[in-house]
Structure 1
Amino acid sequence: MKNVKNNRQRQINDIVSIVKLSSLLLIGIIFCKEFAENGSLILYSTHSYYTLSVLFVPLLILILIYCGWSFSTKNSYEDIPNKIEISLFIVLFSLVTFICGVNQSEYKLLFLFIIITTTIQSGMKQGFIVSGVSSIIVLSMDILMQPNAVINVNFENDLILAGVFILTAWPLGFYVKVEGEHIKKLEELINVDGLTELYNHRYFYDTLLEKIKIGKRDDKPVSMIFIDIDYFKQYNDTHGHQKGDYILKKIGGIIKSAVRKDDIAARYGGEEFAIVLPNTDEGQAMDIAEKLRKEIEVTYFEGEENQPGGKITASIGVSIYPDKAKNDIELIKSADDALYRAKFFNKNRVEAYTSILDEIKKNIDEKDIELVASIKTLISVINAKDKYTYGHIERVVVYSRMMVEKLKLNEKDSKILIYGAYMHDIGKINISKDILLKKMKLTDLEWEELKQHPENGVEIIKSVESLQDIIPLILSHHERYDGNGYPNNLKGEEIPYLARVLTVIDSFDAMTSNRPYNNRKTYEEGILEIEQCIGTQFDPEIARIFIEVIKSNEGVSFYESIKMNEMKI
């Protein structure tokens, strides 16, 4: 619709430019006629050449300048240049009228050219102004030329002409206004979601690209918020799609009332919403997102008592350009990643996008950057195969950051633990989707295949020289303290220290997350199981420290934990 509107405006501007150009040519004809009739243009006379030079050379230059300006700018008129152009035409038409008889001139109708073109191009208000100015000029000439006349015939006649000027601008302006309102209505039908009255998916994409371009030009940030209604399918299944539409419409209203004037709120699809926030940093976006989350949580929705937790809630992800995304596609993806993180962290929360890969890139050799980018692609493939793995990796990274702080690890070991947490399951790329998502107990053959993922992971990263230090974590994160783990049956302190830390973290998250083959445990049940496995599966000292970390950080969001535990690595 935007392209159609631009094309229409371009066509109108082309027509207007041609009309104005024609009026300039008409002025040239008028001058020729006027001076020819007065005998001023005698062929080959010196005086005729002088007259031509004085009158027609500037006019020709004016015509050429107007042609060049009008069409080289692709008719993208701005307010001030357009007003200057209108003023110049009024002055020119006034000059023609003055030279060709002043109050008795038959060329006063020339003002209709600028009245019509201005009204078409700028609307009724500008048309009235130009018609009013034109009328004042014409009537002033009548009064100035016959100041003491008892009956000023020219003035009386030109009052009718002034009425014609006004009446030309009025209906034409009214038509332009009606057409503009009609186009605006069509735009709303095309760009606005009929249910929520927010913008639709297509308009969201078009506007996002435009805001990114403006942000790049002005060196300003552009933030994005993704919102997803928690357990919406369950609500739909319980109450029906009509009630589901009621939820969508009501939340759409909450979003619409919360966004600022320049923000773009849209229904992204299904139960997802998106907001583009120009000139907004991450902190401001997080505040707006948290305000929205709370507003949705405290609002009463019919039937919400049957939802988990007895409330309708929303999970929200936040990202920002250019700090965390280089273009519009990356901004959408990063905000979506943050949303997934919020969904995996028990929902009803706000999370900001963070990328471990960005940290890794800052701290590895330049020659290895492409290899690390390839590793990220592999992890994305794993995420697509198994959404549990995605959430698991993110949570294990969070717990690792917390342990870095608690254990007071040095800078090198901090990097190794966090990077190892990010890549510890990369070997699952070679495990079939059927095994990863199987809800029943694995067969012996399937179990043996799954147990190969630590060694597969080592094979993938061993060529990256900068990541050699994390190989022991990838290889040994399934070893047990009692020696009954895999792949090498290491025991006690034979297992690398950071691998023992990662084992506790990895196991706890596996217990407290929904997986295809078992139901999640509560944090309390997970802590209890860690305690029961001290000395058998887990290093006793590390396990006890981890329990302290979990108890002290329970309920803290991912974003908050990053801000509190972020290391300069």
Structure 2
Amino acid sequence: MSMLKRARTMKLNARHWYFLIVSIIGITVFIFINQADFLNYSLNNWIWLYALVGATLILDHFTFRLPPQGNGQSMDSSVYLACVFIYGAPFALSVCLLTLIILSLYNRKTPFWKNLVNFSIYVLMITGSSIVFSASGGEIGPIQNENIISYVIALSVYFSINVLLIGFYYVILMKSTLFEALKEFFKDIIVVYLSTLILSLALSILISSNGVFGLALFIALSTMLSYSFKQLFTMYNEIQEKAIKDQRTGLFNHSYFENLLDTEIKKSKAAETSLSLAMIDIDDFKKYNDQFGHLKGDMLLAFLGNFLKTECDPAEVIASRFGGEEFTILMPGYDENEARHFINRLRKKLNDTYFEGVEIFPAGCLSFSAGIANYRDDIHDKAQMVDLADQALYYAKKQGKNNVHVYGSGSVQEYEIDFAEDVRDIEQQLKLFLYKDVDTFKHSKRVFRYAVDMSEVLGLECTERRTFVLGALIHDIGKLEIPWGILNKKDKLTPGEWETVKRHVSWGKRIAETNERLKELVPYIELHHERYDGGGYPHGFKGSQIPRLCRMLTIIDSFDAMTTERPYQKTKTYEEGIAELRRCAGSQFDPELVELFIGYMQQRMLEQQQPAAGFET
């Protein structure tokens, strides 16, 4: 059984226990207070009993709901309160009992236990209000001005009991605090409660002074008032529907989704339950739009919206349109495995669902890519969760589309995709060298390839490998700021020109710091000309003050510079370059890392049977 189903079962059991306790208490109180009072009624009492039961049934039929939560309300409480004021609690309980019997016989679709719970709640409310009415000096009979305080107190207790009983129900069902439950519930129905007070007093006066005609007048007035509240709720629903729904797809819109996601994250955090979010993107939607036009594209969006709604509603998950051809599915109670299974099932079913024109898609069918993010403790707001789902969607697209990817589930795949994307971005920036200094561009590419191999030799884990290799690729980016004349000068540089060249590490650092994704590469850009003995630049760091991988980059960078043709120095063979590395080990280079690199180069030369001269790739 899934966590969601177990949670629902626990809520259901707790709710049944609560209803059972309320029913037992209500029935016990009824027996104790009523004591079969109806057996002693006169004909006039029975007439009024039937008349008031009829009024109660009519008002119950015109039950209405109040915005925004849609809590059900009816004016039948005004009848019960009037009975308490004029005839006393036993008579009011008789009206309540006969109403229960008739409702149970008339509407057999409603389970009897629901009617019994409602009856028990009314019994407790009627009894409580009657007790405080008598205790506060109220006298049963026609309405008297001097009893006005007793009437108000009785009404307050009547609805206080109602609010508490329903509040406890929401505490059990929703696991919220009693204060929060009462605050929301009271805010929604205070107007109805005040109306009921006025109506109960009006009914008491009408019955006392006008008899049956007064009761009929009251029913007409209450019915019209109930109908007005009902129309108000209908109008509210229509306006809310337009405000929260996407008109093209019929799904919830972006704004509603964001509010709902924020709410569900707070619930998941408080109750420590699972929550998953899927971001869905229709594959090759632009191709369909270009082929058939935007009108047909809108029809496809509407088709997919209806498909998602049909599939998501029974599963109790919420589909929304995020924007364009992107959709979201919010899955409360679903862990990442349940979410993956549900979205994958959805994807396969869509693949098998025909829509006109799908033949133009690469797969010959409708498909989507989806990214899933599961709520974690380190997610503090909705934006973080949306970003993770969006990143997972990106990974799904990069793996060939028509695919579902859960964020963090394929760390190797995610790393390779991110790495390839970073390499592509950096290479785009380095291509600026093609017009300014093609040698620097080629040098950066060779150093990059050396770094890829050395990351294996050093046994670097994914994060270190990424920064080291990317740092090697971008290490000379600051040379873009060096004047063309100096960068391409064939003669030996003057001291002033050499100082300008040395500043490229600082310029490169500033370039990298402007890009959030490149900031972690700054040490490789800034420190690749530091020396092991402290004689390098820009800071004169020495030994372990220089990060280990920056020391490795210095060796690679220098070896490639020595073994590649440069305008102002003699090109060395690989053997000469290796000899130079050994000569400078302990002064310019880290001696331990030098031996590792030399071992790698000797093995490479042996495998490829390279001649002594340097080469370019």
Query: TM-score of the superposition, structure 1-length normalised?
Result: 0.48
Q: Which structure has the larger Rg?
A: 2
